[in-house]
Amino acid sequence: MYDTNLKTLLQSIMELLGSSFGISARTYALEYIRTDSTFSSRLIDFNYSRGGSPDSGTLIAVLQFICVLLHSCYKANTMTRPASTECAVPDTMELQLYLQIFLEIARNLHDIRRDEQFSLQARLCHFHLRWSLLLLIKSCPGVLNGSDAAFVEEDTPYSPELMGPDGLSYTSPYSIIAPKKLLSFLNSWQRNGIDGIYDPETLQDGNESTGSCLVPLHDAACCRSQDGALEHVAACTILTIVAHVLRASESNKHEFLQDYFTQYSRLWDHHLPFDDWDEEFVMSEEDRCRAPSHEFLAILRSVGLDKWVGPSGDLRQPPSANMPLNCFVKLTPAFRWTTFTFTDVLRTLASHVDMGAVPTNNLGVLSSGSAVTAAASTIDRHRLPTSASESSRVFADMARGPEGSRFVDLDALAGATKQPSSAEIPFRESVGASTAR
C-alpha cells in the first residue's frame, strides 16, 4: 500500500525549510535529506508501490519535494566540480533516482488535469523547476546544456526498473539527466501531461514531436518549439503560469496565490521572476518585433486589455473597469519586498511583441451562450488535439471551462447575435485588428 504518512512528512519538511531557513542553511539541509538512505528508500517504496493509488494530495507533495531535490542535485553538482567536460552531465546515482521518481509521477499527473486545485500546484512545481533549469543552463553554457537539444530515449531495452505496471517502457532517467534535456522534456507536449493541452498517452511521435506545451508569446518557432532560445522559453514560462492562474476560479485563484504560491516559492533559491525576467534573459530587438501568438492575444482580450490591441494600442492603459485584474493580485515575491500586478507582467510580455504584425482577418471567438453552444455541439468536447499545430485553435487547458467550452470560428457562428458576457469568457480566442508598437 502507499505510504499514507508520506504527505504529512513532506509537507512538514517543506514548511520548516521555507519558514526557518536561509538559502545557505536550506542548501545543507536538503543535501542531508537527499543523501539519507532511509528517506530515499521511503520515496522509492512510494514509487514502486502497486497496492493502491496515491491520493492527489500525496502525489502533489511528492512532486513538490522531488522538484526541489532535483534542483538541489544539479546545484550540488555544479558547485562541487569545475566547469569542464568532466562535470558537464551530472552523473550521480541519486540524481538518476530522483529523476526516475519524477518520471513516474509525470505519468500519473494526467489523472489530476481536471482538478483545478491540484493541477495549479503541479504547474507551479514545473514552473520553478523549469526556471531553475533555465538559470542553470544560462550560468553553465557548453556541454552542460547537452549537445543534442532534444532529449533522446535509449535504443537499448529498458531494465525492469523502467517498466511500468502495464508492461510498457518509458523514458530513461539517464536520457534526460543533462539539464537541457530535462528542460526539453518539461517543454514537450508529448511528455508533459499537465502544463500543456495534450494527453501524452493518446499521442504518438510525429512530424511535430518538437512542439512546446508552453503558451507561446510569439507566433513563430522561437516560442512554439520545445527547444527555443532561452529568452523565449523564459517568456513562455512566465506567460504559461500567468495564463493558468488567470483562468482559475476565484476561490482556487486566491487560495493558490495566498498559500501555495508564496509558501512553495520560499523553497527555491531564485526569487519570483515575474517583474524582471527580461533582465535575466534579454531578448534581442529583432525578436521583440515578432508577431504575437493568437493565444497571447486571446489572454489580453479575456482580461479586458483590449486597448493594448489595435493600430493605436497603448500599453499604458489599465484593464477595463469591469475586469478586476489590477485589484486582484499584488504579490510580495519571495526574498524581495516588491509588489506588482499581473497587469505589469502582461505589459512586460506585450512589450516584447509587435502588435502591428497581427493580421487584421485573424478573428475567432470563444463559445458561450445558447447560439454558440449549438454551434459548438458538433465538436467532440472530449477529443484531444492530435498535433501541436492545433494549439492556437483549441488552447484547451486555458480555455476549457468546467463544462468543456470550446473555441469556434466565427464562420460557424453565422447568424448568432448574442455576444458572451465578460464573466462567461475564460479566454477569448479572437485577435482583432493589428496594433502598432
pLDDT of residue 395: 39
Residues in the chain predicted with pLDDT less than 50, given as ranges, are 50-51, 83-91, 143, 145-169, 198-207, 329-330, 333-335, 361-437
pLDDT of residue 124: 92
pLDDT of residue 322: 66
Q: What is the reported pTM?
A: 0.74
The set of long-range contacts for 151-160, using a CB threshold of 8 Å and a minimum separation of 24, is 151/175, 151/176, 151/181, 151/182, 151/184, 151/185, 151/188, 152/181
pLDDT of residue 211: 84
pLDDT of residue 359: 56
